[in-house]
Chains A and B, each alone.
Chain A
């Protein structure tokens, strides 16, 4: 076949099974767009490259299949960076292809030249600067192999314009890049793990994104049932175990139900499956599960012992490991532990004030869940609303809950929802967002309208950067600064301006009926819900504090002491009682 570098890329993407690519064109990627012109691949024109990156992420997160996004050189590439970094921290298989200035001009500060390769080294699993059309024959399949193998992650392929235009004759096509076979665990590992499990009187499973990536949700549930072991999840592990399962304890960490953190406090064996002991989950790491031995299974060897020293660390695919454990584990009731867990749960349930009121956070989340049913896919932005959803939405299956965990990127929710809707057209997608977050990628309402995706945006509008306000209230003596929006945009009017149906619950006489209608509209729709600025997420572990010390709604703390760094969790400042 006679083609050029750009034609080669498109052909290789088709062979990979790629059918939809979000992106924005520009001078350095025009040959690629010319090649797409003759392709069956559907290009989705985002309105900002960060939107394109998150649309691709939404596709990848909803399906587990790697997704592609496109940007041009210079600002196209820099605008993609946040979405790429987000994919790195949450281990999402993403292949970002960027145009670059022609090689003859590289290094001359040419128009829209930026060192995309250098910029993306720290935020990718791997990256390429392609120097000939022929190289693409192995780079493209290898990029997909790397993005999906073991611990998934983003790969960047930077392609200079002259390489896109270089003529090439292809005689034989490479095989599409596929994930390497899953890493098995050794029989010694299995013996060790089984011994730890048999020995444990008070075990807990803590599951994370690795379980979902490995497709090991059912195995987790079966292991839990067989061993009568309660299961907690990290933010990204939600959905891997059905919320209503009697053994499921919900989310662990900073905004967990108090019972969940206390149960982890008492466990004598923590089985960490596909988790990385993130500080939002562990609180002060040194005091996390203080009485427990730790069995840690992760496909990434560098996670074993990075934060917590495991009694046994097993580098393996979580699914392969669980299958091996299951073959050797006998059913085992643990009546004393089950009773203690039940006791703690009864005593320290998550309080959900306003759970019956559609216009209050928990009530809204519950109402949407009830109306939308189990088939729905839920995305969120970042802030209080994200935590309310994580606490209260009854997720029943993996890949139902798409949220930016590691990077915590405001602006994730809407484009990710569009991506999920493109990838799963028969499902309704709900995006819970805040007024701060929505404004970060609100331009993608245009994309949503254009693509007529079944996305319902539920906007919790508190006229604040709510989570910032909450931290200022709790840890900075109530000295509010730069967390309030004085100008209040009319979000319903804005949405309508984009061609998106919109409702405002502030003026609705029957809010529940409006919600029900909004969740049935065939195209995109936005519902604005006014939320009291004072509504906080509780309980809350002070950043850097141990998980057992949780601040409660009804146990006011002194608002005097600022922790020295609320973001990295490394401080020891304590709000004085």
Chain B
């Protein structure tokens, strides 16, 4: 869900490596509004989303393609507060997890030469010190 409003502020210099978060969420119609709304409200960027029910249909698994930058920790902590989010971990396959999705959609694969990640991350908050400072990290996710 790239944020078009901030297109103009993105440049090659602001590229960061991508990381894929895998969430397990309660499966109900409103849950994606909770997850997507969080990114929108907190001015976090998410480059890709995929979501399917798990074998246990009361749960869904969500893949989020986000940027590995200083604010990732804050993203994860905010996600962890959502009552419907039951589990968050970093997808071992990295952004390859989105390779198949990219082919299906006819879009550049994350990390490929044509791949452009959207938006900026910390800049809009530069006056707020410590946003996602590495020192605040809670350890590995």
- Known A118-B33, A129-B30: A308·B130 in contact at CB below 8 Å: yes
Residue among B34, B81, B132 making CB contact with A300, cutoff 8 Å: B81
Is A125 among interface residues, defined by CB-CB distance under 8 A? yes
Encode A303-324 as 1/0 by CB contact (under 8 A) with B.
0111111100100000000000
Is B74 among interface residues, defined by CB-CB distance under 8 A? yes
Encode B106-141 as 1/0 by CB contact (under 8 A) with A.
000000000000000000000111111101101000
Residue among B41, B84, B132 making CB contact with A305, cutoff 8 Å: B132
- Known A122-B41, A309-B136: A301·B131 in contact at CB below 8 Å: no
User: Quick one: closest A residue to B36, CB to CB?
Assistant: A121
How many Å lie between the Cα of A301 and that of B127 in the bound state? 21
Tell me if B41 and A307 are in contact (CB < 8 A). no
Encode B7-39 as 1/0 by CB contact (under 8 A) with A.
000000000000000000000011001100100
A sample of 13 more A-B contacts (CB under 8 A), given A129-B29, A305-B132, A307-B131, is A121-B34, A122-B37, A125-B83, A146-B83, A285-B127, A285-B129, A300-B81, A301-B77, A301-B138, A302-B77, A305-B130, A307-B128, A309-B136
How many Å from the CB of A278 to the closest CB on chain B?
12
Tell me if A301 and B30 are in contact (CB < 8 A). no
Is B80 among interface residues, defined by CB-CB distance under 8 A? yes
Which residues of B are interface residues toward A (Cβ below 8 A)? 29-30, 33-34, 37, 41, 73-74, 77-78, 80-84, 127-133, 135-136, 138
* B contact residues around A548 at 8 Å (CB): none
Which residues of A are interface residues toward B (Cβ below 8 A)? 117-118, 121-122, 125-127, 129, 146, 284-286, 300-302, 304-310, 313, 570
How many Å from the CB of A241 to the closest CB on chain B?
27
Tell me if B80 and A570 are in contact (CB < 8 A). no
* B contact residues around A307 at 8 Å (CB): 128-131
Q: Which 10 A-B pairs have the closest CB atoms?
A: A305-B136, A309-B130, A302-B77, A126-B83, A309-B133, A286-B129, A301-B77, A302-B78, A308-B130, A121-B37
* B contact residues around A570 at 8 Å (CB): 127
How many Å lie between the Cα of A300 and that of B77 in the bound state? 9
* B contact residues around A313 at 8 Å (CB): 136
* A contact residues around B131 at 8 Å (CB): 305-307
User: Quick one: closest A residue to B135, CB to CB?
Assistant: A309
Tell me if B80 and A301 are in contact (CB < 8 A). yes
* B contact residues around A125 at 8 Å (CB): 83
- Known A146-B83, A304-B136, A305-B132: A284·B30 in contact at CB below 8 Å: no
* B contact residues around A310 at 8 Å (CB): 136
How many Å from the CB of B27 to the closest CB on chain A?
13
How many Å lie between the Cα of A306 and that of B37 in the bound state? 19
Q: Could you jot down 27 A-B contacts, CB within 8 Å? A: A117-B30, A118-B33, A121-B30, A121-B34, A121-B37, A129-B29, A129-B30, A146-B83, A284-B127, A285-B127, A286-B127, A286-B129, A302-B78, A302-B80, A302-B81, A305-B74, A305-B130, A305-B131, A305-B133, A305-B136, A306-B74, A308-B129, A309-B133, A309-B135, A309-B136, A310-B136, A570-B127
* B contact residues around A146 at 8 Å (CB): 83
How many Å lie between the Cα of A447 and that of B135 in the bound state? 52
How many Å from the CB of A146 to the closest CB on chain B?
6
How many Å from the CB of B111 to the closest CB on chain A?
28
How many Å lie between the Cα of A301 and that of B138 in the bound state? 9
Interface centre among A122, A125, A129, A301 (most CB of B within 10 A): A301
How many Å lie between the Cα of A120 and that of B52 in the bound state? 25
How many Å lie between the Cα of A286 and that of B127 in the bound state? 7
User: Quick one: closest B residue to A128, CB to CB?
Assistant: B30
How many Å from the CB of B38 to the closest CB on chain A?
8
How many Å lie between the Cα of A284 and that of B127 in the bound state? 8
User: Quick one: closest B residue to A126, CB to CB?
Assistant: B83
* A contact residues around B82 at 8 Å (CB): 126
Tell me if B33 and A121 are in contact (CB < 8 A). yes
Interface centre among B77, B81, B82, B130 (most CB of A within 10 A): B130
How many Å lie between the Cα of A310 and that of B134 in the bound state? 11
How many Å lie between the Cα of A286 and that of B126 in the bound state? 10
How many Å lie between the Cα of A307 and that of B83 in the bound state? 23
How many Å from the CB of A85 to the closest CB on chain B?
12
How many Å lie between the Cα of A122 and that of B37 in the bound state? 7
* B contact residues around A122 at 8 Å (CB): 37, 41
User: Quick one: closest A residue to B30, CB to CB?
Assistant: A117
How many Å lie between the Cα of A305 and that of B128 in the bound state? 10
Tell me if A305 and B73 are in contact (CB < 8 A). yes
User: Quick one: closest B residue to A315, CB to CB?
Assistant: B138
How many Å from the CB of A472 to the closest CB on chain B?
24
User: Quick one: closest A residue to B34, CB to CB?
Assistant: A121
* A contact residues around B132 at 8 Å (CB): 305
* B contact residues around A118 at 8 Å (CB): 30, 33
* B contact residues around A284 at 8 Å (CB): 127
* B contact residues around A127 at 8 Å (CB): 30
User: Quick one: closest B residue to A155, CB to CB?
Assistant: B83
User: Quick one: closest B residue to A287, CB to CB?
Assistant: B129
* B contact residues around A306 at 8 Å (CB): 74, 130-131
* A contact residues around B80 at 8 Å (CB): 301-302
How many Å lie between the Cα of A129 and that of B26 in the bound state? 14
User: Quick one: closest B residue to A309, CB to CB?
Assistant: B130
User: Quick one: closest B residue to A279, CB to CB?
Assistant: B128
* B contact residues around A302 at 8 Å (CB): 74, 77-78, 80-81
Residue among A121, A300, A305 making CB contact with B135, cutoff 8 Å: A305
How many Å lie between the Cα of A301 and that of B78 in the bound state? 9
Tell me if B129 and A309 are in contact (CB < 8 A). yes
How many Å lie between the Cα of A300 and that of B138 in the bound state? 13
How many Å from the CB of B32 to the closest CB on chain A?
11
